[in-house]
Amino acid sequence: MTDRILTPRVLIVAGSDSSGGAGIQADIKTCAAFGVYSATAITAITAQNTQGVQRVEAVAPDLVAAQMRSALSDIGADVIKIGMLASAEIIEAVADVIAGDAEDITVVLDPVMVATSGDKLLEDMAVKALKKILLPLADVITPNIDEAEILTGIRPDDVDGMIEAGVRLMEMGAYAALMKGGHLDTKSITDVLVTPGGNHIMSAPRIYSKHTHGTGCTLASAVASLLAQGAPHEIPLEIAVREAREFVFEAIRTAPKLGQGNGPLNHGLGVGEAKPEPDTNPFAALKDLQV
């Protein structure tokens, strides 16, 4: 009789951030905060800090695939979280592994295209491959406003636009879309989870802080971790997204204020600190914060 695996597992497929604030490093820290075991397949090495990206060198696509297969064939995974992919060839390699070796594993796709500093992290030719090959394999995709526009051609400037773009992503093959509204010029941050069962609008006060490096990576990894915690019996995606948003909110609010530019978050939060008491709204008594 095979022992049931009790430890939730996430396989992270993403680039390395030498500053530790985003990419693989942020993903691992986030998984650890939720008590989830993380294995990794590194897609690119970056030289970057809070002020920008100085250099990017992609890993050979066959080596990316080999890392994934090595982890999957031994430790396994409940969720695969995908971040920076760098090139069309890497996207094709990742898609091949998922289709051949991980067909039944939940996939959380963060379509990383541009760093917080504004530096491009995905080649133009790779966008087409992501849309055609990888997006249809995603159980949930987590684009920000700019990424949603690139992927769908729709500029989601409000909630209705976010829903429209999310529906378009589902028509393109994704099961669900978490549309992130942090790039909109609004006092509150509103995200919309678009699913086959309906749309979930989630708002929170905006924290006015420059220490937001790695927020997208962190949110997607938090969602992946919570979904992994629910394996093999699924927890509702809406609940995973709500708790992941609360974690990111606290990670920004308590950021360590490192670096001269866009600093990293506080990934050291324990999962208990990120969860509200039952039947309470953690944002109800909060106003806009300046940190």
Question: Catalytic residue numbers?
Answer: 180, 212, 214-217
Q: Return the residue matching tokens 């997204």.
A: 241
What kind and span of H or E run contains 52? strand 52-58
Residue with tokens 């022992």, as numbered in its chain = 3
CB atoms within 10 A of CB 81: 30
Is 236 in contact with 221 (CB distance < 8 Å)?
no
Pairing of strands 207-208, 198-205: unpaired
Sign of CA dihedral 33, 148, 112, 212: negative
Tell me the C-alpha distance between 68 and 101, whole Å.
9
CA 38, CA 191: separation in Å to the nearest integer? 26
Q: What is the spatial distance between Cα 217 and Cα 23, in angstroms, rounded to a whole number?
A: 6
